[in-house]
Structure 1
Amino acid sequence: MSRRGGGCLTAAAVALSLVVLALAAGLVCLVLTNGAPTAEVGAPLEEELVPKAFDEYAWGELSEVAAMISSAPSDEEGRAIAEKYGVSVGSVRPLALDDGRTCSLTVVGIRADERADGSGVSGLTLMASPISVRAMNEEETNAGGWESSDLRSWLAAEGMGLLPGELAEAIVPVRKLTNNVGVTSDAASVTETDDSLWLFSASEVCGTVTWFTDEYGVEPNAHTGYVDFAPYDALLNLEGEQYEYFSAAGVSASSDPQGALRLTYGGSETSWWYRTAYPFTYVGGDECYFYQVMASGYPSTTGLATSASGVTVGFCL
């Protein structure tokens, strides 16, 4: 006597077995992938950036490292990320320019500059040794300071064009403080500009500056026409804090013990511009000077705005 329904029971048992096998396979997969969802078939896998020597990173990779440093919740954690990826203050590499020349690129600060868009700090601040030799202005004046200078305009266009395209695209504009009047002792003359490529200020390189009071004293006297020179030093010191690279090298307003400021262009030592305007005039009509680093590396001298000097630029990633 046949039993009706036996085939149905067999099919049900087979189906149940398949379900159990599927669940077991899923559990094994879950364990093997640590609970992470599996990628779609054919989808590319994102690889974590592998730490390298500073001079081995492609520009896009270095930008990625800088972004991770920038997004860290604290300076300490940002520095830890930089260390993990082999980047430190003083790291240096060659930088090939579009005109066929090669300059050096040095890390001078980590999380040291404010982004121009207000989104926080940049990851890395870099210094490119002279990328050109140019005058600050076509006319013999420092009126308008850095903000109105011809060299600032040149850097934003032709100067940027000297950099590798991938590097130029990765640059993060930042806010820079400068006396943008020229001859003045008024602290209100120090205002912000948003810059992608910029010159370093005297205080960013030298730290605290006392050039006027060192030369003329702290009290007005007959020799100087009863001028109080302290406000001029105060003005210079409002243009930003000294970068760690220069501080670590012992650079001061009167000393460069390790030769950090001795830079070359075309194989020859050259003076190079600060963006800092000389703020005092003795007889009127001579408002035409900007501060420079001497070719020997001495931190302070002045040059006529129309004279040619090295263009040492800073920028941020």
Structure 2
Amino acid sequence: MTFRTFRLPLAALAGLLVLTGCPDKKATETADTTAPAKLPKAPVFNADSAYAFTAKQVSFGPRVPNSKAHIATGNWLVAKLKSYGLKVMEQPFEAMTFDGTNIHARNIIAQYQPQAARRVAIFGHWDTRPFADDDPDPKKKNKSMDGASDGASAVAVALEMARQLSLQPDSLAPNVGVDFIFFDAEDWGHDDTTQADLKDQLAGSGTDSWCLGSQYWAKNLLPAGYKAEYGVLLDMVGAKGGNFTREGTSRTNARGPLDKIWNTAAQLGYSNFFRFQDTDPITDDHVYTNQAGIPTIDIYDHPPVGAKYFPAYHHATTDNMAIIDRNTMKAVGQTMLQTLYME
């Protein structure tokens, strides 16, 4: 998935200073004690299928913009989404990265039940970071990586959701349309900690070096004038022992959807993954989808203890298929399908 250090654009940061400053070492855990309603029947999420989708993406090689593996992966995603009968759109764009590289990228949008007035967005990013700058082995810091959890697992969960929805007859479809929006060029950003010796050529330009695809989409909505009741950003949702907390920007901008999803996960027995723990904001694609008017939460793997905001595999060569766990993807995918069927 992802990237990032705990950093927000200045305008957003100013509004969050009253809420945070440094990671909250007194993270709270409070569950909703309201009596749960009976859950409606939802499709069964197939974790084996999601695992296979993750492995397929990794098999192309690192999905770094401008590479053959990146092009091949994007083409495969478009074909796979079309095979499910979804309305698929591509949004090509060009951008410059923090190190001055000019890249060719594309966002991929697929709509299930495009005619539905009520809509929910499932976001993710499909690219990989071009360097493992947070790898504990200094010799590997300039190596590319698989991005098995960071990117591929989120896309895989979304693909399996799309596959399951496509199998449902009209009489068993959810009451909302679903848009699967995969952003490109999310992970080629400047890390102030691991890349302090490198200049961020985008600094002061008004463009964040992270989340280039979501920034472009937010300014050029596709479909035009796009609206959704809420959005869910999936990011790093495939590693063994996945731990998902209630991130600050999610709580501020989309508390209703966040509570609904966390309480649904609890009813399904997944509270060991979806923790009732409040943590500080991070910069991720949801910052820009929220700015575009779509209340969005971020589901990402956050270490349960300690000061670190990301797991040990984050931006490291260890982010490979060896860490991918079907149980984590099942918890996320089943929770999301169930949530859609509660609308």
Could you state the TM-score of these two structures normalised by the residue count of structure 1? 0.29
User: With structure 2 as the length reference, what TM-score do the two structures score?
Assistant: 0.28
* Greater Rg over alpha carbons, structure: 1
